Structure 1
Amino acid sequence: MRFWVSVLIFASLFTVTAQDRDFLTADEADQVRLTQEPNMRLKLYIKFARQRLDLLRQLLESEKAGRSAFIHDTIEDYTRIVETMDTISDDALRRKLTIDEGVAAIAESETEMLKTLEAIEASKPKDMARYRFVLDEAISATRDSLELAQQNIQQRAAAVQQRDLKEKQELEEMMQPKDLEAKRAAERKAQQEQKKNKAPTLRRKGETVPKR
């Protein structure tokens, strides 16, 4: 009885539809906001993913009616957490931040989490038809994320840059000439502002650092 009360409380933290439902609780969202360093933030999301799988195991061990809806939403939220970890990693690489520690933690944890999901699939729960699609998505997302985590970090950073460049080019190809020119003008202005905001120096223009 206590277990199902906990499940209902947990489920009440989310809205009805998958599109609108936040995959983090209010407390988890607060923890994320307070954790800005990318390696620590990745480890925080790993903890959330593990908690979802712990809840999933408890739900699968229960024979209560109506469990399939909770199982479905729990798996779906797990997948969104995994996808968010990949987004955080890619964003950090764009900003040229070091995330080796966080990525290593992802690789280690997702290896075990993938085994858990595959074991659930192999056990063929009697109501699996009701959440088979999201389970397949979770397994696929975990495999893809694990593959990224095991990739050479420099190669991954280069791939992120290439993907961003390709998306930018495709977007510009769809834009009207006047809109494209306005976009490029805004980019030039932003670059100029960035140069103006460089750290001030007491040296005169053309003055160099004296040799010692």
Structure 2
Amino acid sequence: MKLYVMIAAVLLAFTMIASAEPRREELTPAEIDQLRDSAQEPDLRLKLYIKFSRERLDAVEQARTDAKVTNHGQQMHERLQDFLDLYDELNENVDTFADRKADIRKVLKTVIEADTEFQAKLRALRDASGTNPEDARQYEFLLSNALDTLDSSVQDHRQLLTEQEEAAKHKKLIKQQ
């Protein structure tokens, strides 16, 4: 009897997994190739993540204003999720290169500038969300999450830059070649 229950549970789990909506891929094959080619080059790799994140954030604004889009709230939610996924990847890469003691001071300044730009765009989006509250309900939690992530990341990136500047004074960073 226990065997039947176990088999039924496994079949139920497989059914749920099979019927689940497939996860959207946030990167295109061309973008994946670019990132793969820059795996050992922190400056280039982080700049690519900034570029791709910026494109996803622009897609959020396009989804908001495009007259052809029928469900603005859902489209904006999906585009915000794409942005947040890529931004999380950017942060993971910053952490990885920092853990390797790579000298990322120069590109970190670019990351901080992008953080500020992304914050401004997301705050403008939040301020504009009052024009259509029904659509805003579909993405407001994700937007709030993205703003919180950016707020903490800005602090983390600035702190890391300070730490990198200090480490550079003591020649504890590995320069890129």
TM-score (norm 2): 0.73
Q: Which residue of 2 aligns with 1:175?
A: none
CA deviation after TM superposition for structure 1 residue 62, in Å? 2.2
- CA-based RMSD of the aligned residues comes to 2.2
- Matches of 2:90 and 2:124, distance apart in 1: 23
1:98-137 to 2 correspondences below 5 Å:
98-124=103-129, 125-126=131-132, 127-137=135-145
Residues 148 and 156 of structure 1 are in contact (CA less than 8 Å); yes or no, is this contact kept in structure 2? no
TM-score (norm 1): 0.61
Aligned mate of 2:77, from 72, 87, 106:
72
Percent pairwise identity: 28
Q: Which residue of 2 aligns with 1:89?
A: 94
CA deviation after TM superposition for structure 1 residue 69, in Å? 2.0
Residues 103 and 164 of structure 2 are in contact (CA less than 8 Å); yes or no, is this contact kept in structure 1? no
Residues 73 and 137 of structure 2 are in contact (CA less than 8 Å); yes or no, is this contact kept in structure 1? no
Q: Closer, same or farther in 2 for the Cα pair 1:16/1:67, shift >3 Å?
A: farther
Instruction: Kindly report structure 1 stretches of 4+ aligned residues shifted beyond 6 Å.
Output: none
- Matches of 2:98 and 2:107, distance apart in 1: 12
Secondary structure at the counterpart of residue 24 of structure 1? coil
CA offsets, 1:20-44, max 9 Å, x none? Answer: 3222112111110011201110000
Comparing 23-32 and 148-157, the one that deviates more? 148-157
- Matches of 2:43 and 2:98, distance apart in 1: 12
Aligned mate of 1:43, from 43, 47, 52:
47
CA deviation after TM superposition for structure 1 residue 16, in Å? 4.3
